C-alpha cells in the first residue's frame, strides 16, 4: 500500500540507483523531507550496504536502516534489457534520478541523461562520482577516501608526526551527497521557472575541495602550505583539548580577544590580559604552547562539571567530546529531538539522527527505517506501472525483479 504523502517534498518522485553511500545519502536527505524515493536494487542481493557495518546484530546491518530510511525498495536487474525497460517506465513519471555508478555505466544500459530526458524533459538527474562526468580522471573508479585525498582534507587531518588520517566517517561520500542535494533543489527551482530539467554533476573530490577554506590562495599567493596540526589550529590560541581532574578531556575555544578576557576572568588570572605574550590574538598565536600549558594546568585541577559550569557561566565556548553514549544522555539532544527512534522488525527499535535542518512550517520526518529487499515491488510495479501479479511472478522467475 502506498504511503500518504507528507513533507515539503511530498509531491516529488525520486528514482534512486546506485549503491553504498554517495548516491543513497542524497536519496536519504530527499526522503527525509517527504519525497517518494524508489530505490532500485539488484534482485537477490540488493545494495551491498545491507551487509555493511562494524556491528551486525541478528546478522543485520545497522547502517542500512539509516541510509535507506523513508525509501521504497524495488528489485530491478538493470543489467538486463527487461530491467532497463522497467526502469525507463518508472523514470518516465519521475522528477529526479539519483545515481552513483562509474561514468558511462548508465549510458551502456541505455539510461544516460540524454536518453532519459527524451522520455522525460522535466527530469533532473543527479550523478555522484569520484571525479565527475568529464575530465581525464572521470573513467577511474572513485571511492570516497580517494576523493578526500585528492580534495585536500586527508593531508591536513591528523597528528603531524603520523601519516594523514581519516575523520572516522565517510566524509567524502557524504559531502558529495549533500552537494548533490543542493544541486537537485537548485535545479528544481530552475525547472519551476523554465519547465526544463538538467544534469547535476557532483564529484567527491570537488565537494571536499569546496570545504577547504582558503587553502588554495594560501599556497599560490601566500606561499603557505597547510599541514597536519593535530588538535590545534596554527596561531589560534587558546583553542584546544584540555584535561580535567576526572581524566576526561574537554574542548575550549577562547581565541577571540573578548572571549579570552572572559576565560582568564573565570580562571582568576586576569593578569594574563596585560601580559605582552597574550595581549592580543597575534601574540597568543605565537605563544600557543605556553598558553595551552597554563589553561591545561587550570582545567586539570577541576572536575569536568565544575570547569564547564564556570566556562558556560562566563560565556566561554567549551564542551565535552561526545561519544554515542553521551548523546543519548544529553538533555539538549532530548529537548531538540535530535535522536529519533523507529520500529524495526529485527531490532525492535532503532535509534538514529533525526532530520536536519529543522524547518518551522514544513519540517521533515523519518517515516520508517530502511525497507526489506523488494518490499515495495507490488506497490510500484502494480500501482504505478500496472504490472499484474502473474506478470510480476514471471519477471521474478526470470531474475528481472
- The three cell numbers locating residue 356: 536536519
Active site (annotated) includes residue 303: no
Which run of H or of E encompasses 16? strand 13-16
Tell me the C-alpha to C-alpha distance, in Å, between residue 202 and each of 101, 361, 394: 12, 29, 38
Q: How far apart are CA 315 and CA 88, in angstroms?
A: 57
Q: How far apart are CA 101 and CA 234, in angstroms?
A: 39
SS3 102: coil
Q: How far apart are CA 277 and CA 282, in angstroms?
A: 9
Q: What letter would DSSP give residue 1?
A: -
Check: CB of residue 315 under 8 Å from CB of residue 262: yes
Q: How far apart are CA 189 and CA 6, in angstroms?
A: 20
- Give every CB contact of residue 271 below 8 A, 6+ residues apart in sequence: 264
Q: How far apart are CA 380 and CA 292, in angstroms?
A: 60
Which run of H or of E encompasses 342? strand 339-344
Check: CB of residue 138 under 8 Å from CB of residue 127: no
Q: How far apart are CA 260 and CA 316, in angstroms?
A: 8
Check: CB of residue 64 under 8 Å from CB of residue 47: yes
Catalytic residue among 47, 95, 173, 201: 173
Q: Backbone phi, then psi, for 312, in 5-degree steps?
A: -65, -40
Q: How far apart are CA 31 and CA 97, in angstroms?
A: 13
400: Cα separation from own chain's centroid: 32
Check: CB of residue 200 under 8 Å from CB of residue 26: no
Which positions are catalytic?
173
Amino acid at each position: 500500500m502506498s504511503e500518504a504523502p507528507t513533507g515539503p517534498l511530498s509531491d516529488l518522485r525520486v528514482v534512486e540507483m546506485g549503491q553504498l553511500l554517495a548516491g543513497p545519502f542524497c536519496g536519504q536527505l530527499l526522503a527525509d523531507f517527504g519525497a517518494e524515493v524508489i530505490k532500485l536494487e539488484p534482485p537477490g542481493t540488493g545494495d551491498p550496504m545491507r551487509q555493511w557495518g562494524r556491528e551486525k546484530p541478528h546478522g543485520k546491518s545497522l547502517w542500512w536502516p539509516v541510509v535507506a530510511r523513508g525509501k521504497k525498495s524495488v528489485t530491478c536487474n538493470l543489467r538486463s534489457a527487461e530491467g532497463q525497460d522497467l526502469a525507463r517506465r518508472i523514470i518516465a513519471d519521475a522528477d529526479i534520478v539519483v545515481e552513483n555508478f562509474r561514468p558511462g555505466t548508465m549510458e551502456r544500459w541505455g539510461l544516460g541523461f540524454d536518453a532519459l530526458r527524451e522520455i522525460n524533459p522535466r527530469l533532473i538527474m543527479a550523478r555522484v562520482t569520484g571525479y565527475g562526468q568529464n575530465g581525464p580522471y572521470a573513467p577511474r573508479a572513485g571511492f570516497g577516501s580517494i576523493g578526500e585525498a585528492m580534495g585536500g582534507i586527508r593531508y591536513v587531518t591528523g597528528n603531524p608526526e603520523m601519516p594523514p588520517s581519516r575523520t572516522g566517517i565517510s566524509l567524502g561520500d557524504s559531502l558529495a551527497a549533500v552537494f548533490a542535494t543542493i544541486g537537485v533543489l537548485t535545479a528544481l527551482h530552475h525547472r519551476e521557472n523554465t519547465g526544463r530539467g538538467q544534469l547535476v554533476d557532483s564529484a567527491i573530490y570537488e565537494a571536499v575541495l569546496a570545504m577547504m577554506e582558503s587553502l588554495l590562495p594560501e599556497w599560490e599567493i601566500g606561499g603557505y602550505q597547510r599541514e597536519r596540526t593535530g588538535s590545534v589550529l596554527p596561531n589560534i590560541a587558546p583553542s584546544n583539548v584540555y584535561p580535567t581532574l576526572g581524566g576526561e578531556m574537554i574542548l575550549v575555544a577562547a581565541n577571540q580577544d573578548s572571549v579570552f578576557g572572559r576565560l582568564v576572568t573565570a580562571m582568576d588570572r586576569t593578569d594574563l590580559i596585560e601580559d605582552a605574550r597574550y595581549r592580543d590574538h597575534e601574540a597568543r598565536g605565537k605563544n600557543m604552547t605556553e598558553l595551552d600549558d597554563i589553561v591545561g594546568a587550570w582545567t586539570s585541577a577541576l572536575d569536568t562539571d565544575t570547569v564547564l559550569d564556570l566556562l558556560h557561566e562566563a560565556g566561554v565556548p567549551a564542551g565535552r567530546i561526545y561519544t554515542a553514549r553521551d548523546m543519548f544522555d544529553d538533555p539538549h539532544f532530548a529537548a531538540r529531538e535530535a535522536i529519533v527512534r523507529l520500529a524495526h522488525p529485527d531490532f525492535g527499535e532503532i535509534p538514529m539522527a533525526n532530520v536536519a535542518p529543522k524547518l518551522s512550517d514544513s519540517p521533515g520526518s523519518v517515516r520508517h527505517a530502511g525497507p526489506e529487499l523488494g518490499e515495495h515491488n507490488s506497490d510500484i510495479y502494480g500501482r504505478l506501472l500496472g504490472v499484474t501479479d502473474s506478470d510480476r511472478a514471471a519477471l521474478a522467475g526470470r531474475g528481472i525483479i
